Amino acid sequence: MIAGLTGLWTTLRWLFKRPVTAHYPEQHLPVQERYMGFPALLWDETADEPFCTGCMVCVRECPTQCMSAQMHDNPRFTDGASHRRKIIETFEINLNRCILCGICVDVCAFDAIEMSHEHELASYGRAGARADLDLLLAGGRHYQEETSWVPLNAEKNVAGVALAKKAAAAAAKSAAGPPASPAPEGSDGAEVDA
């Protein structure tokens, strides 16, 4: 008798508490700040181009080989608008294969790839899970807008900072003495010591 009443009391108590479940399609729980969703490519505002140079290190280090990338010469490098000699041309991630391990983010030396908060990419066909460069960059821009993402190594990787540093170094050099010769063409921003 008493046991039965105790049981009913427990049931009654829970009846008036807030449910712990969330009804998913109507109600979205926020993800945590470090949440690792699908990878996305980030956008360098200072040069108006992606951070990614297409160095392929993430393609090689991916445990599931879900990526492919191609680079080409960066036309903006010759204009002096960017310090990146090479820039990404095509990039494709097969999100069906991606296991969201974050190894690509760890190995990237250019702060170009990041695990976004995006985790809802249902599509009607198998090809829908193939993220191309435009989709990856859109995801990256969305990620940069909604979080306070800062590049790990801004001095080396953000075009505006790297170019300013290079210009300052050149100015200091010319002020110190007559320039023997202009800086050799081989030293681009990627070699600036961090």
Partner 1 sequence: MQRPGTTEQQHDTVDMMLNMGPQHPATHGVFRMVLTLDGERVVEVVPHIGYLHRGSEKLCETESYAQVVTLFDRLDYVANLNNELAFCRAAERLMDVDVPERAQYIRVALCELNRLASHLLFLGTYAIDLGAMTPIMYGFRERERIQNLFESVTGARMMHNFIRIGGVKEDVPADFVPRTRAVLEDVRKGVDEIDRLLTFNEVFLARTKGVGVIDAATAISCGLTGPSLRGSGVAYDVRKDDPYEIYRYLGFEVPVGAAGDCWDRYYVRLLECYQSIDLVVQCLDQMEPGPTMTQRRRIARPPKGEVYVHCENPRGDMGVFLVSDGTDKPYRVKVRPPSFCNLVALRPMMRGEYIADAVAILGSIDIVLGEVDR
What kind and span of H or E run contains 94? strand 86-94
Q: How far is the CB of 150 from partner 1 (least distance, A)?
A: 15
Question: d(Cα 67, Cα 54) in Å, to the nearest integer?
Answer: 11
Q: How far is the CB of 69 from partner 1 (least distance, A)?
A: 18
For residues 107 and 192, which CB has a smaller minimum distance to partner 1 in the complex?
107
Q: How far is the CB of 67 from partner 1 (least distance, A)?
A: 14
Q: How far is the CB of 62 from partner 1 (least distance, A)?
A: 8
For residues 106 and 134, which CB has a smaller minimum distance to partner 1 in the complex?
106
Enumerate binding residues for partner 1 (CB under 8 A): 20, 31-36, 61, 63, 99-103, 106-107, 115
The residues, ordered by sequence, that sit 6+ positions from 55 with a Cβ below 8 Å of its Cβ are 71, 86, 109, 110
For residues 58 and 163, which CB has a smaller minimum distance to partner 1 in the complex?
58
**37 near 100, Cβ under 8 Å?**
yes
Which phi-psi region, left, alpha or beta, contains residue 162 (left: φ > 0; alpha: ψ -120 to 50)? alpha
